[in-house]
Amino acid sequence: MLQQVKILTGRKAYEFHPDDIRISTLSIKPIQEQLQNLFQFQASAMATPMATFGEVPATYPPGFVFDMGVWLTPDEQQIVPIRFLHFEPRRIVIDVAGPSSTITPIYNHLQNFLSQLQAADGNPVIGEPRRILDYSEISAQFSEPLDAIFSPRIRKLLAKTMAESASGNEVVPVPTLVIQALSRGQEYAGTVNANEPHSFTLSQRAGSSLSESVYFSAAPLDSEIHLNYLNELEEALRF
């Protein structure tokens, strides 16, 4: 079983059809102020949001960004930091420093507020999302080092080869796994950067020592499914 589990990030993107998010209406100053107060955001700005689930189309207004807010759960037992809320032309992205399950009530509260508003043509300012995407980040201590994915012969070869390239100093392999999901027949676009939102990434946690076996994992999963996957992976590494 994993130890020292920390859910660092839960993130959801609610994707909409074209023209189902009326950015111009949301950018009106009184609405902006109400949205900022809704979750006590410390900052807000009309700007192009950073690309979290893919490129953000160039439009005017470019989008709206709210940073560092808070959500108090209905039972008032937990305070959830909202790292950001992004309004893109076709997505609403909510990122929290906590489990993915806390995002749904945050979105529902937001939707309840927005449902009271209309654009100038009488249409709702947001429609119904056509799909929901997930992303989460977790750090945890494994009982085995990640290089256990290699056979003993491969580990020995890697250590020997790296030691030779390091002028004889003792070294050990420190792998980083980046796994992409592709459909059969789909053209491979090439290696992606670590923490790309549609890939599975597993690496040594920055700032930790190798002896601690603490790893950082990012995956296109909600945090509960993500944690189940890591527990199964941890068990598989032991055998």
* pLDDT tens digits, one per residue of 112-162: 999 999 999 999 999 999 999 999 999 999 998 888 888 889 888 887 888
For residues 70 and 38, what is the distance between their CA atoms, to the nearest angstrom?
9
The answer to the question of residue 53 being in a domain is yes
Residue 19 to residue 125: CA distance in whole angstroms: 9
Q: Give, for 165, the enclosing helix (H) or strand (E).
A: helix 152-165
> What is the pLDDT at residue 160?
80
Q: What would the mean pLDDT of 41-67 be, rounded to a whole number?
A: 93
In this prediction, residue 210 carries a pLDDT of 85
Q: CB atoms < 10 A from the CB of 131, how many?
A: 8
What percent of the chain lies above the pLDDT cut of 70? 96
What is the C-alpha to C-alpha distance for residues 22 and 116, in angstroms, rounded to an integer? Answer: 14
Give the pLDDT confidence score for residue 169 in this predicted structure. 65
Q: Give me the mean pLDDT over the 155-176 stretch.
A: 76
Does 113 reside within a domain? Answer: yes
Q: What is the pLDDT of residue 85?
A: 98
Given 84, 110, 136, the domain boundary residue is: 136
Residues 146 and 179 both lie in one domain: yes
Structurally, the chain folds into a number of domains equal to 2
Mean pLDDT of 223-229: 97
4 occurs within a structural domain: no
Are 125 and 154 in a shared domain?
A: no
Contacts of 168 (CB under 8 A, 6+ apart): none
Q: Is the pLDDT of residue 168 over 60?
A: no
Whether residue 91 is found in the same domain as residue 166? no
In sequence order, which residues have a C-beta less than 8 Å from that of residue 175 and are 6 or more positions away? 146, 147, 149, 150, 203
The per-residue pLDDT for 157 is 87
Adjacency order of strands within the sheet including 131-141: 43-46, 64-72, 79-87, 91-96, 3-15, 131-141, 214-219, 199-204, 177-180
Query: pLDDT class for 198, splitting at 50, 70, 90?
Result: confident
pLDDT of 194 reads 60
- CA dihedral (170, 143, 239, 8) in degrees, to 10, reads -110
pLDDT value for 104: 96
| Mean pLDDT value across the chain | 90
**Single residue among 104, 136, 168 that ends a domain in this structure:** 136
| pTM, two decimal places | 0.90
Which of these three, 136, 157, 176, is where a domain ends?
136
The candidate with the shortest Cα–Cα distance to 237, out of 161, 175, 172, is 175
Do 215 and 130 sit in the same domain of this protein?
Answer: no
C-alpha closest to that of 132 among 13, 221, 213: 13
Task: Tell me which residue range forms the domain holding 91.
Answer: 9-136
Is 2 contained in some domain?
no
